[in-house]
Structure 1
Amino acid sequence: MDVKELELQMLIEELESYEGRATELVSYYVPAGYELSKVIEHLGYEYSTAQNIKDKNTRQHVMDAIAKILNYLKGLKNTPENGLVVFCGNISNVPGKVDLRLWAMEPPDKLSLRIYRCDSKFLLDPLKEMIKPKQIYGLIVLDRGEATIGTLKGSRLIVLENKESWVPSKMRAGGQSSVRFQRLIEQDVHLWLKYLADEMRNFFDKDMDKLAGIIVGGPGLLKERFVNEDYLPYQLKQKVLGVYDTAYSNEYGLKELLEKAKDVLQKTEYTKEVQLANLFFEHLGKNTGLVVYGLDDVKKALELGAIDTIIISEDYKDKLKELLDLIQQTNAKIEIISKNHPEGEQFANFKIGAILRFKIS
């Protein structure tokens, strides 16, 4: 992760925390290549319209926000290459107190839409979409009795569905012939696999362009039948990257599947996090002198230019604000470690650490 992406994530989280006392927070998304003169003309119209707002305070706050945006835009020569996103409004929750602030940025990807919104919350969804993982993986672990479907988005393992099947055990019901009972079981197994294939289609059809692959696991032979026979639709079947043995078919099975499939997941955020945390623990255990931890020691190592990669637990990332200038000066890399895996949960005890380029005293 680079500093700009981290700053954008932190800004989104900050903006989400603000709420206007009325519909007085302004969000403006300007698409790439759009003329600034047209934006200024449109905001002039919105300023005139705002004069009709009944509530005196809301009217004044909206007009002040628009005026501040106009003043900012007049200092620009052109719309930035990827477009422009501006947020402005009174973020004070204290009656009678005004705290009018403006944030403006060039988005990481080209904007293709123009949106003006005046609301009690800033409009952040289009910006969030830009920092979502570009690729996802579909996951399923199954056997005759249970199945769990999930997805891996970046470093996040998300359980989409866990379901027990209706397939009876192999014990024959009283009064039924062995042949008839086996035929009924086979019908139920067929319907169970068809149900799971339908659920996979329901979950992943809409994300087909982002779906990098599907990984299948389970404790028995049913997983091979699920993949090899015509249950999965053709588009999904073509996405299957591997089939693995797991001991479970529940959420633990999904985590086990990710571990077993690390050969095909080398480039995912999840695997990178696990490998990086393990590297940190390895250096720590061998006392190589190539790791530090704790905010003060990380800051000292940054000042010496000794850090290759900063590792920080997701619950502690706000502390990076204190280090951003130093990080930019030294070109240190940053990785935020989630708690979606045991290594991340273990690293959370350290909060922040770093892998060094060289030993420091």
Structure 2
Amino acid sequence: MKILEFDDKKGIMKLHVENEDDLWVLHLILKKGDKVIAKTTRDVSMGKESRRVPMIIELEVEHTEFQSFTSRLRIHGKIMDAPERFGIKGAYHTINLDIGDEIVIEKTHWSKFELDKIKRQSEKRIKLLIVLVDFDEYLIALPMTQGIRILSEKSLRTPNKEEESIIEDNAKEVANEILSYVNSLRIEIVLLAGPGPFKEIVSKYLKNIKVYIDSVSSATRAGLNEILRRDIIDQINRDYELSEETKIMEKIMENLAKNTGLVAYGKDEVKKTAEYGAIDKLLVIEDLLSPENEEERIQIEEIMENVENKNGEVLIVPKDSPIYYEVKNLTGLIALLRFRIN
């Protein structure tokens, strides 16, 4: 989640939704009476016909539904403001908020829990380094919450027929600088892009670090703007989240095998450990958040909120996750504990 604007005096916050967990957080903090502004579509009468029209509306929230199956948050409420020509002010409507959307939230009062939750979610980003390379130049940039920071922007020796080693030497020079930033900034993933084959040559020298390779038109700031407009960074974040879930599941299975007492599963047991503040990580399959079983969904959401309130981390496991069936076979709700309670 990215915080685009926040006016503390007016209680207005503008957010960009980056992943499914962001939608869960918004579901957690949106309360009845809050106001939201977002893009939506609605059927409106056009003479004798009805047509679905895109528009921006302001809605007073009645309630929300988190739909994991579609990576969507449904926000139900009364339309407070909309384009006058449609005549829908005062009617009820549902905004379907998806990954990649922006939303403005207005509250009469932001609680400490709500602000802390938003802040923690906005800071929950992978340490990614973007590197653009070409045979004669390169650029290294660090995505940060407040924007993109250019770490290095340099020219390289131009390759020529007389000195055949220049290309390899340049690749080693770039790789050494990348590895220096990887170590000093604790980078987890490198996105390496460029207009030609030089990026593959550089990648040979990047050992023991996850590297994604993509193509851009140039190794310049224009190329950086190009890569930032693509979906690859969202995909990297998605892959990283699935990897983190897998690591947590490995720890859970290890503790189960050793019978350490540091694992809880099943609704009753997890609820009990959550009340003690013992949960460090909680895995929840998306099925349990389906609106089809409202009573169970509400109970699961209460457990998740309790875990979050006591500084535990909740991860929603989608059906395409490699650990989905493992978690499902253990009731779909399984926790790694900080301490034993028995």
1 or 2, which has the higher helix percentage?
A: 1
Pair member with larger Rg: 1
| Larger strand percent | 2
TM-score tier, shorter chain, comes to 0.3 to 0.5
With the length of structure 2 as denominator, give the TM-score of the two structures: 0.37
